[in-house]
Amino acid sequence: MLRGGWPRHNVNEGTEAAAMGVCIDGAGLSIPDVVAVARGGAPVSLDLDARRRIDRASAYVDTLLRRERPVYGVTTGFGRFADVVISPDDSAALQRNLLLSHASGVGELLPDEVVRAILLLRANALACGYSGARAEVVDTLIAMLNQGVHPLVPSQGSVGSSGDLAPLAHTMLVVIGEGMARYKGEILPGAEAMARAGIPVVALRAKEGLALINGTQVMTAIGSLAVHDVSILAQVADIAVAMTTEALRGTTSAFDPRVQAVRPHPGQAASARNLLHLMEGSAIRESHRNCPKVQDAYSLRCAPQVHGAARDAIEYARQVVEREMNSATDNPLVFPEDGDVISGGNFHGEPVAMAMDFLGIAASELASISERRTERMVNPQLSGLPPFLTEHGGLNSGMMIAQYTAAALVSENKILASPAVVDSIPTSGNQEDHVSMGTIAARKARQIAANVANVLSIEVMCAAQGIDFLAPLEPGAGARAAHEAVRAQVPHLDHDRVLAPDIALIRELIQGEALLRAVEHAVGQLE
């Protein structure tokens, strides 16, 4: 952790987790673990103590079938059918029917990385030992991860309460040999994919279907990857500010630690330290140290305040998501040590929904202020640079339309950042009369993050062009390393060319963390 609580990003953290593997125990899973499994293919195993907890809970469920007391989802139907008693002889059919009937999703398929995160988080939730599923079920989820069996899961259909029922049902169909899955690049029926991977399908027992789909793992899976991505973007945003400040011959006086100390928000202080660090040793800055301009526009001067507020919001989202991924979120929960089973509401996605809406707003602001900096660079009335960053204006348009694109993405983010959690619509015959829309919030945050990456790519592209015009003066070591990383992929714009590939290349540098690694190699770890 950084001073003030901001988590230090370690560019090697995910790589290390991927190499070592991830052992799930229901309590210690982190976002880097999720990234390592979802994107890095890290092997997954089950902790021995967790296996014992799972076995105790499963054994207790067996006793519930022999009791006269009704138990939701074990000896009763679901939702509005909670008052319909189900015979113990029908318990297996009840659980299978649950998966079949609830697989009602629509829309584009979730990416494999998200599906992998879902499988991991559901296995970890079961490892808490309060769900009542057998260890065999958890082993199957782990085997699917390790063998690369990825269910096809429609992205739409969850209201974020009673869990992510529809997308989780599609995910878990493959566990019982139904549904469809991708295996080694081929789309196959679930049973065939499992057979090719050498994974036996599961014949569900009491409570197991409910334990597989009653939870918040879809919104949390999407959210965990979004938190990771936005955390990287927050650091890249500081790099972009440093480059732009150099290109516009701005001052670093507003980043003085004394300014931050009298308003001690941790994210603000971290961002300001980054900016001073990135611009240390700047010949450009020294060249205009005694100029008459006393302060810069807000988009430069207030960057620590805006980026810092975003950082603090990201940290809040991280805490919520990591807490959620190590929680038992289905219903009912079984407590074998107490000899009790309790119907509750841990499946309600409100905590994650609020965190994802907050994350989306924070990420949107990183893009909003970035676009304003881009505008300052392309506008000759504000920049002191060639109009639209081209030396041959008129015949050439330079970076003119790149700013249009940034503006369009920022406007799109304004729409996407409208909170989802404030909406609710009753379901299941009004039994489920308040829902979170948490999965919609998470999906929006993920799309916002993708838009932000493009907006920052445009700013970095423009800043690199602006720095070129100030040669032979060089920026500070961090900004210089970023400039060199960009120029290794994208040449200076002498005459008009198609800019979309340039933006895409820089976006790959950002999202793949190569830009961050290049900067940290030059100046040490950023905050």
- Show the tokens assigned to 314: 């990201």
The phi and psi torsions of 61 (rounded to 5 degrees) equal: -60, -40
Cite the active site residues.
Answer: 72
Measured between alpha carbons, how far is residue 435 from residues 99, 154, 160, 209, 430 in Å? 21, 20, 6, 21, 11
Q: Which residues contact 5 (CB under 8 A, 6 or more apart)?
A: 266, 315
The phi and psi torsions of 374 (rounded to 5 degrees) equal: -60, -45
From 290, 299, 343, 281, select the one nearest 130 (Cα to Cα). Answer: 343
For the chain, how many helices (H) and strands (E)?
Answer: 22, 9
Q: What is the C-alpha to C-alpha distance for residues 75 and 90, in angstroms, rounded to an integer?
A: 9
Tell me the H-state helices in 379-476: 380-383, 400-416, 438-468
The strand ranges marked E within 3-88 are 22-24, 44-46
Q: Hunting for tokens 């609830």 — which residue is that? A: 102
Collapse the DSSP code of 44 into the 3-class scheme (helix H, G, I; strand E, B; otherwise coil) and give the result. Answer: strand
Contact 64, 206 (CB under 8 A): yes
The strand ranges marked E within 95-224 are 106-109, 149-151, 154-156, 180-183, 186-189
Q: What is the C-alpha to C-alpha distance for residues 506 and 206, in angstroms, rounded to an integer?
A: 52
Collapse the DSSP code of 189 into the 3-class scheme (helix H, G, I; strand E, B; otherwise coil) and give the result. Answer: strand
Q: What residues pair up with 333 in beta bridges, in sequence order?
A: 342
